Structure 1
C-alpha cells in the first residue's frame, strides 16, 4: 500500500547499483592511467598518480639522449674560466722569437721559454696541454665557458703578457696557468703560485691578490685530494703555496689568477706520475674541483 512517499529500494537492487558504480570508477581510473603513460601506451605496473619521472617509467634527459644533470650539476653555468697551458711544444723551434723581452710591469722578461722535460724526454709543454684539455672537458661539463691561451695551434708562445691579456679580455671569473717544475731530484710535490702585491707600470695586482689566494687555497686542497700528491717539500714551507712578483702572467692579470706546478719532472717518482695518463686525469679533476669550489662558493 502506498501513501505517496518513496521507500528505499530492496537490498538486492542497492547491491547491483554499488557494483555498477565500482565498475564505472575502475574504467575511469584505468583510462586516466593510460593517458598519463608516455606515448599513450599502458602505464607501468605500480604507477602512482604523482606523475614523477620515475613513476612515468622514463628518466629525464638532457635533450641529447643522455641523463639530465642531477642536483649540483652545471654549477659553473654563466662562468668563464681561462686555462693557460704553460709553454708551447713548438717553442724549441723559435728560440729567438721567444727570447725577446716583454714588459711585465716591474721588469722585463722573456716572451716565453721552452719549459722543462722528464729525463725520458716527456716535455712540460706536452704535459700542460694534455692536462688542460682534460680539465676543459670537465669544466665544460659543469657549465663553464672555457677559454685557452693556446691549444697547440700556434707556432710559438703566446708571450707571457699575451697570456695575461687573454684572461683580462674575456673577463674570466678565474684563470689558471698549468705547469710542471724542473727542480733537482728529491724535490717532490706540487705547489700553487699566488700573485704578490705589485704596482708598477702596467701591473697592478691590488684587486686580485685576495681572491687569487682564495682560488689558490681551494685549488691546493682539491688537487691534493684528487691526486694523492703531497704539497711541495721544497717550496712553500709545507703549505703548497708560494707568492711571487716576477711572473708576467700574474703581474698583468686583472682577474683572479694562479699558477700550479703539478710536480717536479726531474724527480723520478714525480715523473712517473706526470707521465701516467690516469694520474693526469686525476690532476685535471683536482683542478676542476678547485676552480669549482672557488666559483661556486
Structure 2
C-alpha cells in the first residue's frame, strides 16, 4: 500500500513528465513585504514665514531743482495743514547734493537688508526724477505692507555744527508713537555704536521729536527720519562724499533696522 505522502509525490512527478514545456513553479521563499497598506506618511513641510518688508525713503530727488512749480505745490502735512510737495535738499560746499547722497546711501542699506532676508521697497526708483511729494512718501509704507519705514537725509546747518540726529513724529498721529520712538532709538543706538557722533546743535542725545515733518505725520507704520550728518561741516561732508563714508553710514543704519526687526 502506498502511503498518502508518497502517492502525492508520484502524482506530481507524473504531471511534470507530461508537461515538458511548462515553467516550473518558483521556489518557495519569504513572503514579499506588503507596502500597499503600510506606506510611511511624509510630514508636510511648514512654509517659511514671509519676509518682513521695510520701506526706504531716499530724501529729495535729482529733478526737483528744475521742477519748482511741481515741488512747491501744497500737499497735506498730516496734521490738518499743508506743506510744499518737496524741496531740493542741501549740499556740501563742494556741490555734492543731498539727493545724490541719500540715493547712494539707500542702495547700500538696501543691499545689506536684502542679504539679511528683508524685502525692501523704495519711494523712488532713480535719482533724476521729481518728487514724490512728502505725503505720498508717508503713505507708501502702508501701501507696501511695510513693518517699518526709514527716511534718509542729511542736514545743512552752520559749518561748526556736527553730528547725526534721528527724527520721529511727536506727538504721534496714527497710534504708532511708541514703535516709531523705538525705531528711532534703535537707529540712534546703532549710529552711535559705530562711532558716529550725535548732533550737538539739534535734538537731544541724537533724537529729535518733530511735529512738522509730513513724511512722518502721514505714515501709518513705525517711521523714523535719519539726518546722517551736517553736509556743511567739512569733516562730515568729506565722509558723505566718499564711498567709504557712505558705506559706514549704511552699515550703521542697516544694523539699526535689523535690531528693530529682531525685537
Task: Give the shorter-chain TM-score range.
Answer: 0.7 to 0.9
Greater RCO between the two (CA within 8 Å, min separation 6)?
2
Q: Tell me the number of residue pairs that the alignment of Structure 1 and Structure 2 aligns.
A: 214
- Unpaired segments ≥5 residues, structure 1: 1-75, 199-203
Residue in structure 2 matched with residue 128 of structure 1 by the alignment: 102
Q: Is the 8 A contact 1:82 1:148 kept in 2?
A: yes
Residue in structure 1 matched with residue 177 of structure 2 by the alignment: 209
For residues 127 and 100 of structure 2, the distance between their equivalents in structure 1, rounded to whole angstroms, comes to 13
The 3-state SS of whatever aligns with 2:168 is: strand
Residue in structure 1 matched with residue 227 of structure 2 by the alignment: 261
1:232 and 2:188 matched: no
| Structure 1 residues 153 and 261: CA distance shift in structure 2, 3 A | closer
| Structure 1 residues 280 and 77: CA distance shift in structure 2, 3 A | farther
Matches within 5 A, 1:70-89: 78-89=51-62
| Structure 1 residues 153 and 266: CA distance shift in structure 2, 3 A | closer
For residues 153 and 167 of structure 1, the distance between their equivalents in structure 2, rounded to whole angstroms, comes to 20
Residue in structure 2 matched with residue 243 of structure 1 by the alignment: 209
| Structure 1 residues 172 and 271: CA distance shift in structure 2, 3 A | same
Who wins on radius of gyration, i.e. which is larger?
Answer: 2
Residue in structure 2 matched with residue 27 of structure 1 by the alignment: none
- Unpaired segments ≥5 residues, structure 2: 1-48
Q: Is the 8 A contact 1:194 1:213 kept in 2?
A: yes
Structure 1 stretches (4+) deviating beyond 6 angstroms?
none
The 3-state SS of whatever aligns with 2:245 is: helix
Q: Is the 8 A contact 1:85 1:177 kept in 2?
A: yes
TM-score after normalising by structure 2: 0.79
Deviation at 1:105, TM superposition (A): 2.6
1:147 and 2:110 matched: no
For residues 56 and 128 of structure 2, the distance between their equivalents in structure 1, rounded to whole angstroms, comes to 16
The 3-state SS of whatever aligns with 1:218 is: helix
